[in-house]
Amino acid sequence: MNNNRNDIFVKIEKNAESLESYRDFPLIFIMKDIVIEHEYYSEMYVGILDCVEGHRIYLKDAFEINEGNSTYLGNEFKKWDLTREDSTINEFPHIKLEFIDTIYASKLKLTLEQTWNAWSDPRDLIRTNNPIYQKIQRGFSENEVDFTEKSQPVYFDEEGDRISLKKIHEIESKNGKPVSMIAVTRQQYDISDFPKYEKYIENDLPYERIYYGLWPDAENKKIEYDVLYVIPTDNYEEVLNHLNAHDQMNKGMPQKMALVVFSGGNYEIIENRL
């Protein structure tokens, strides 16, 4: 299972007793790749466990997934009261335990939709469960609408609060000297991979503070979402070394430029010409 999924989901034993403890929880069912006459199942099911009776599993609000496409089944696999339904029906549609390969439950309290989104792309959980990322995303969304190469820089601190270049200089400068903002990201257009870059700065680089910013990607006509750190110098050789030090994080692409910030919040760009 994907490493990120290991952080979010736990594998459940395939027996009625284990499953019953997850009643009313959203679960992921991955089916075996077998076909038996009159027995057909989709690749996966996501649904809220209604109940388990022997080898029969009943779900509420179920989705079926085939080749990554989901179809809402509603209560097709729900256990109904047979005494109130058509007396000619012996049993309602269900999922047979022997056709299931593996079952997963979320370690976190998620809705059915969040469970499927997190399984499809574990990074999606960042947007649903982290209030600081949500705050940063709101800030980015509010500012990127009219953001161009001519716009003033937009940056946020680790709490997701907008921060001025003047304030960044006050925090990072030594003896009032210029500082340089170095991004470790390239061509990131959402916040999904931010944790990877944050861990890189915190664990592999000797920098404590992290900043987030917008940058116009003129070549691709998009707005980049950046994760940055600051060095207390504008020395060209030092800045260049930093711009070329993170290509392993971005498919071999070095950084194009750094933002040099002066006292008072004025700035200039140092381009990577290598």
Cα(153)–Cα(61) distance, integer angstroms: 46
Nearest CA to 125 among 136, 114, 135, 134?
Answer: 114
Cα(179)–Cα(267) distance, integer angstroms: 9
CB proximity list for 197: less than 8 A, separation 6 or greater? 184, 185, 188, 227, 249
Specify the pLDDT at position 35.
67
pLDDT averaged over consecutive 10-residue blocks of the chain (274 residues)? 70 87 91 72 88 87 83 78 52 81 86 81 66 88 90 95 98 96 93 87 92 91 94 96 94 93 96 83
Looking at domain 3-129, which CATH architecture does it have?
Answer: Roll (2.30)
Q: How far apart are the first and last CA of the chain?
A: 40
Residue 10, SS3 per DSSP = strand
Specify the pLDDT at position 265.
96
Specify the pLDDT at position 128.
60
Specify the pLDDT at position 83.
47
Residue 225 and residue 190 in contact, taking contact as beta carbons nearer than 8 Å: yes
Q: Could you tell me the residue ranges of all domains in the chain?
A: 3-129, 131-271
